[in-house]
Structure 1
Amino acid sequence: MQTLKDGRWLNEPTKAKISDGELFVVTDANTDFWRKTHYGFVRDNGHFYAFETEGDFTAEVRVRAHFDHLYDQAGLMVRLDGRRWVKTGIEFSDGHGLLGSVLTDEVSDWATGRYDGDPSDFRIRVTVESGVLRIQASDDGRTWPLVRLCPFPKADRYLVGPMCCTPERAGLEVRFSEWRLGPALGKDIHDLS
């Protein structure tokens, strides 16, 4: 059975502690994942704790953090390489912890909106199946409303796992727990379980 100890870092933070049940991270300064759109720059130095999958999968994790500085963010990332990836979770913007995603295929987009639950304690789930990416979020681990449905490149292998960044500072403390990675759930789009 896979545990949190089985991942590997892309951009390992200065401070991190891993146990079987929890990954604790303190973000380094000026970390982010972004490609070009609006700002013009490329950043690929955010913290990503990756697990390799074979084909389609569903991954989910519980995230606890106090987001209070512009662009503080944590959640999940799915990555093929530095030019094709998605990150999703809570990001602090306009005075709120917003639920959102950034899909990148050479350039990044950003889709975001208010989160009705407690942004300091949420769950995020990503499913990749047959070239389609489905993102869901939950405040209780039982009901999983849809956040995003979009095409995503088909591949034999993906990297997926917890992600966090602080583009404007250092020091966001993030606790990831209840990590699950397995075959794609294959549920109907309106099945919120």
Structure 2
Amino acid sequence: MTKRILNWEQGKWINQPLSARQEGDHLKVVPEKGRDFWKKTLYDFEFEDGAALLADWQTDSAVEVSFLLTSFTELYDQAGILLYHEPEQWIKAGIEINDGIPHLSAVVTDGYSDWSLAAVPEWEGEEVTIRASVMKDAVIIRARTGRHGWRTIRVARFPYPSGNLAGPFTCSPTRDGLEVTFTRWSFTEADQELHIDPPME
């Protein structure tokens, strides 16, 4: 398939942000303080009220979301891509501030959430692209910037051939005032091999 870039109007919010407005081709989103996606693990609480703009995702294609890493300053400021099957089965992956540093973050949830992190301080201020592509019963999650090539950040079980949604999300659990600029949302060719990077388009 050729790359299909989505208009922001093609998605539906599963939870509305405080505001979302288009500026040219970009979408600027302000999430509401205190909302997030998380299930039970360690903290016992459950959140599924973060802002996410989703569309039907046929898993024979990859999905990509790009955004600017220019406004993230506080603990748990986050944005990226949400892969949503049901309330108990979803994955969010992107950039999250932890200990004052941007980290590549993935939360994989199947009844309970787990969280993995990798620090990327050198990505600060750049445009980040998060990519998800299904292979067999798993999803391969990769990330890059304009100056840094693809990094595989997670291979996780995702055995759901249908009934899936995907798109950009952002959350600001600890503060008011985060505004995230999303620059692109697209469906494109699926990954062919775990150890072969997709093109940098």
Comparing 106-115 and 134-143, the one that deviates more:
134-143
TM-score, with normalisation over the residues of structure 2? 0.88
Q: Is residue 101 of structure 2 the alignment partner of residue 63 of structure 1?
A: no
Q: Distance in 1 between matches of 2:88 and 2:188?
A: 25
TM-score, with normalisation over the residues of structure 1? 0.92
The SS at the match of 1:113 is strand
CA apart distance, 1:20: 7.0
CA apart distance, 1:155: 2.5
| Code of the aligned partner of 1:27 | P
- Runs (4 or more) in structure 1 with deviation over 2 Å come to 18-21, 54-57
Which residue among 106, 109, 116 is the counterpart of 1:104?
109
Q: Distance in 2 between matches of 1:28 and 1:117?
A: 28
Q: In the superposition, relative to structure 1, how do residues 119 and 105 fare at CA in structure 2: closer, same or farther (>3 Å)?
A: farther
| Code of the aligned partner of 1:148 | R
The aligned runs of 1:163-174 (5 Å cut-off) are 163-174=169-180
Structure 1: which 5+ runs fail to align?
Answer: none
Which residue among 95, 113, 134 is the counterpart of 2:140?
134
Q: Distance in 1 between matches of 2:166 and 2:24?
A: 17
The SS at the match of 1:176 is strand
Equivalent residue for 2:80? 75
Equivalent residue for 1:177? 183
Q: In the superposition, relative to structure 1, how do residues 19 and 181 fare at CA in structure 2: closer, same or farther (>3 Å)?
A: farther
- Report the aligned-residue RMSD: 1.8
Q: Identity of aligned pairs, percent?
A: 33
Equivalent residue for 1:35? 39
Q: Is residue 57 of structure 2 the alignment partner of residue 53 of structure 1?
A: yes
Q: Is residue 175 of structure 2 the alignment partner of residue 156 of structure 1?
A: no
Q: Distance in 1 between matches of 2:75 and 2:148?
A: 30
Structure 2: which 5+ runs fail to align?
Answer: none
Q: Distance in 2 between matches of 1:20 and 1:9?
A: 20
Q: Distance in 1 between matches of 2:28 and 2:74?
A: 19
Aligned length: 192
Equivalent residue for 1:5? 9
Q: Distance in 1 between matches of 2:74 and 2:149?
A: 28
Q: Is residue 157 of structure 2 the alignment partner of residue 123 of structure 1?
A: no
Q: In the superposition, relative to structure 1, how do residues 22 and 187 fare at CA in structure 2: closer, same or farther (>3 Å)?
A: same
CA apart distance, 1:164: 0.4
The SS at the match of 1:5 is helix
Comparing 95-104 and 126-135, the one that deviates more:
126-135
Q: Distance in 2 between matches of 1:116 and 1:123?
A: 16
Q: Distance in 2 between matches of 1:146 and 1:69?
A: 25
The SS at the match of 1:54 is coil
The SS at the match of 2:164 is strand
Q: Is residue 99 of structure 2 the alignment partner of residue 94 of structure 1?
A: yes
Q: Deviation per CA, 1:144-177, whole angstroms, max 9, x where unpaired?
A: 1211112112231310000100111222110111
Comparing 51-60 and 106-115, the one that deviates more:
51-60
The SS at the match of 1:38 is coil
Comparing 108-117 and 158-167, the one that deviates more:
108-117
